[in-house]
Amino acid sequence: MAEPELASTITCPECGHSKDETMPTDTCQWFYDCKGCGTVLKPKAGDCCVYCSYATVPCPPVQATGSKSCCG
């Protein structure tokens, strides 16, 4: 099994600010403070975390399973 990609670019839907981040492998990230405008991002309905909603690469558990949800 391939190692998950941990680098992802998260983009704020409010101001468009983008930032390269390293995703955690041991927890879901349900909140993210935009470094541009300060908006607190939360996952969209049906997504498990902010990376699955607003980033270029989904979170590591979703990469591994191909499922849309990784957190219970």
Task: Dump pLDDT digits (tens) for 27-57.
Answer: 789 999 999 999 999 999 988 899 999 999 9
- What pTM was computed for the model? 0.86
Distance of CA 61 to the CA centre of its chain: 11
| pLDDT score at 25 | 84
- Dist CA 25 CA 11 (whole Å): 20
Q: Distance between CA 8 and CA 53 in Å, rounded?
A: 12
Q: How far apart are the C-alpha atoms of 29 and 31, rounded to whole Å? A: 6
Report the alpha-carbon distance of residue 55 to residue 52 in Å, rounded: 6
- What is the per-residue pLDDT for 63? 85
Confidence check: pLDDT of 14 > 60: yes
Query: Domains of the chain: which residue ranges?
Result: 7-65
Please tell me the predicted confidence (pLDDT) of residue 71: 59
Judge contact between 28 and 48, C-beta under 8 A: yes
